[in-house]
Structure 1
Amino acid sequence: MSLFTAQAAPTAEPSSPQFRDGKFRNPVPMHKQSAAEIARLMWTFVFNKPAGTIPTQAIPVRALSRSALLAAPDKSLFRLGHSTMLIKLGGEFYLTDPVFSKRASPVQWAGPARFHEAPITIAELPDIKAVILSHDHYDHLDHATVLALAAKTQYFLAPLGVGQRLRDWGIDGAKVREFDWWQEAVIDGTRFAATPAQHFSGRGLGDGNSTLWASWVIMHDGLRLFFSGDTGYFAGFKEIGAKYGPFDVALMETGAYDKQWADIHMQPEETLQAFLDLQGKWLVPMHNGTFDLGLHRWQEPFERISVLASKHEVAMATPEMGERLDLTQPQPGTPWWRDLK
């Protein structure tokens, strides 16, 4: 049985407190880059990227199969890449921000390419109870992946406006539920809450902030998970922690950061502080190790957050792609990135 409190259909003008003057907005105004700043940034990305942003050696990937996933213990998590997590709860599978395409891009002949293959193909995946989406950027919402998942997915849980994108792509509207911040749904005993994030949205030149962005809280049988999506550091982490924490495991954005866009992606020091604000017990860094979306070495997010976690005595797990993480008794794993170039 499923119980939804989120919108089953879109509204022409969202009544959301986050929607003002025709756009979704963060509670605190963000820095708006000038045309000159954008031009300099684009030039840097195209012509002046630092060395080491892409690995020259193969990323370790543990291949998965449908039979192995079906046989896996409950309360398991498998990292499939970037921010794509496969979570098994109550015998059902849930998938966050699925991107299986070669490139996180509007086209597959250009744009950031994967460092590694996904540990499992979409065809081999078991049925998915729900896909959980944080926002509509290409490295989190992939058109080809969504269409390929449609037949085996019962529900798509999305922030306001993102659900309409899915319907426009041909996804059955009966499968789509849209959420404002703080709205909840219960699916077969698993409770989901869309929570605030500090970010932005858009997939083209003319649709900026026409859809909402969110983080997610997932609760099942005493287990509490947090999925950050993409976000800068903001006061909302303390509010989420006070309302839903403490969290057994927090899946936290740690990668593609830079001081030039500090209010939309967290520096590792901010990731750690956000984790503490959330009252987390185990930190799992994500948004790294799959795509070249920043100006730092590809290993840097792992190294910086590892040093910080050790210094502050924070328990942290860094599973390899495809490696099972026991959500009831997480293990640190190995620094698999450290000896790679």
Structure 2
Amino acid sequence: MPDPSDPQGTYLPRLLRRGTALAAAGCALMAGCSAAGGGENRYEASPQFKEGQFRNMANPEALPSASAWRIWSRFLVAKKVDTVPVDPIPVQPLGTAQLEALDANANHVVRLGHSSHLLKLQGKYWLIDPVFSERASPFTWAGPKRFHKPPITLEELPPIEAVILSHDHYDHLDVATIEYLAQRVQRYFVPLGVRARLIDMGVPAERVMEFDWWQGTEHAGVKLTATPAQHFSGRTLNDRDRTLWASWVVHSGAQRIFFSGDSGYFPGFRQIGERFGGFDLALMENGAYDAYWPAVHMTPEQSVKAFEDLRGKVLYSVHNSTFDLAFHGWRDPLDRIAKLAEEKKIELATPLIGEVLTVGKARTNARWWEALR
């Protein structure tokens, strides 16, 4: 059975509708990358690693998820409403000349879709959770399908200095993308256990650095720190929490950028804000939430609260508008967070797919989704 708090694994119930229960389960077990396995003893020193699995920070306020049976049953019989856009999602094409023209002394963030971003930090290019495949799934023929194409193809990307990964779910760690980038990226920065996954995908072992929470390094003039998140991991039916999940702090020049990865709301956000003293830009998860799995994804209201805990200046909404991963309407995350930001006078960024945001530079935020069905 899938984990009851695993909304990312819901492609399996969809396959069950086709009457392929046994085949789907078998394929899922084989199609995912191998589990972290072998060498797990080296994680025993991690406070997050106990009895062969990684654990979340203690949080008595975390709400329990529904049972696996209830979640599976819901995906089998419940009707989804407005979870997929009828009108095309607008995409702003991204070209090499445009990227090269960006100020090399500034920090820029480009939305590629969902949680995938291309960054130009002090003249060097970085990727966060890059997913360029058509589906967030171990299969090419089934699973959550993109609402839109990426604004730039893998082949058109400029030379990538580094990749940052938050965790190993399919909508954040994509085999085809990593296999293409494997020899083309100088460094990969990942949470504990994810290094083995990348090596299986063809990434040279010496290029991958893995981190526990609160550990960090410096590369190409950028300081990185892996920070806590409240989530889970796994790519098959039998490798639950064999790898760690994380949020990230990116310190480039005089500016600090926060990337939440996937997370439920928890006290860690306040700790991160206190330790780093606030952020110029915070990329906050805002999508795929549900009352059936309240501890692993945030509602828009919780995303705003987490942003306030982090002491952010600009709230950048991510994890929406690309894949159908839950039961809420596709516009719901954007509508709710825009309303909250307006009420609280928070500077909100909901950029178009392909739009460039320059950190610290004034911009006009457009509600591009409001005219779409």
TM-score by length of 2: 0.86
Give the drift of 1:245. 2.6
Match of 2:135 in 1: 103
Aligned AA (1:43): S
SS of structure 2 residue aligned to 1:261? coil
Against the structure 1 CA distance between its residues 330 and 122, is the aligned structure 2 distance closer, same or farther, given a 3 Å change threshold? Answer: farther
Against the structure 1 CA distance between its residues 192 and 78, is the aligned structure 2 distance closer, same or farther, given a 3 Å change threshold? Answer: same
SS of structure 1 residue aligned to 2:41? coil
- 1:62 maps to 2:92: yes
Aligned AA (2:318): M
Residues 269 and 308 of structure 1 are in contact (CA less than 8 Å); yes or no, is this contact kept in structure 2? Answer: yes
Instruction: Work out the CA distance in 1 between the residues paired with 2:89 and 2:50.
Output: 43
Structure 1: gaps spanning 5 or more residues: 1-9
Q: 2:175 aligns with which of 124, 131, 143?
A: 143
Q: 2:253 aligns with which of 207, 221, 226?
A: 221
Give the drift of 1:231. 0.1
Q: 1:195 aligns with which of 199, 215, 227?
A: 227
Give the drift of 1:125. 0.1
1:1-341 residue pairs with structure 2 within 5 A? 12-14=41-43, 15-28=45-58, 33=65, 37-73=67-103, 74-341=106-373
Instruction: Work out the CA distance in 2 between the residues paired with 1:277 and 1:117.
Output: 34
Give the drift of 1:177. 0.4
Against the structure 1 CA distance between its residues 70 and 143, is the aligned structure 2 distance closer, same or farther, given a 3 Å change threshold? Answer: same
What's the CA shift string for 1:112-133, capped at 9, x where partnerless?
Answer: 0000000000010001111100
Residues 135 and 146 of structure 2 are in contact (CA less than 8 Å); yes or no, is this contact kept in structure 1? Answer: yes
Aligned AA (1:13): R
Residues 187 and 208 of structure 2 are in contact (CA less than 8 Å); yes or no, is this contact kept in structure 1? Answer: yes
Aligned AA (2:296): I
Instruction: Work out the CA distance in 1 between the residues paired with 2:276 and 2:314.
Output: 15
Structure 2: gaps spanning 5 or more residues: 1-38
Residues 316 and 332 of structure 1 are in contact (CA less than 8 Å); yes or no, is this contact kept in structure 2? Answer: no
TM-score by length of 1: 0.94
Instruction: Work out the CA distance in 2 between the residues paired with 1:50 and 1:125.
Output: 36
Against the structure 1 CA distance between its residues 33 and 239, is the aligned structure 2 distance closer, same or farther, given a 3 Å change threshold? Answer: closer
Residues 315 and 332 of structure 1 are in contact (CA less than 8 Å); yes or no, is this contact kept in structure 2? Answer: no
Give the drift of 1:330. 4.3
Alignment length (residue pairs):
330
Residues 319 and 332 of structure 1 are in contact (CA less than 8 Å); yes or no, is this contact kept in structure 2? Answer: no
Instruction: Work out the CA distance in 2 between the residues paired with 1:137 and 1:112.
Output: 13
Q: Which runs of 4+ in 1 moved over 4 A?
A: 29-34
Residues 254 and 268 of structure 1 are in contact (CA less than 8 Å); yes or no, is this contact kept in structure 2? Answer: yes
SS of structure 2 residue aligned to 1:13? helix
Instruction: Work out the CA distance in 1 between the residues paired with 2:180 and 2:111.
Output: 19
Greater Cα offset, 242-251 or 62-71: 62-71
Residues 245 and 280 of structure 1 are in contact (CA less than 8 Å); yes or no, is this contact kept in structure 2? Answer: no
Match of 2:31 in 1: none
SS of structure 2 residue aligned to 1:123? helix
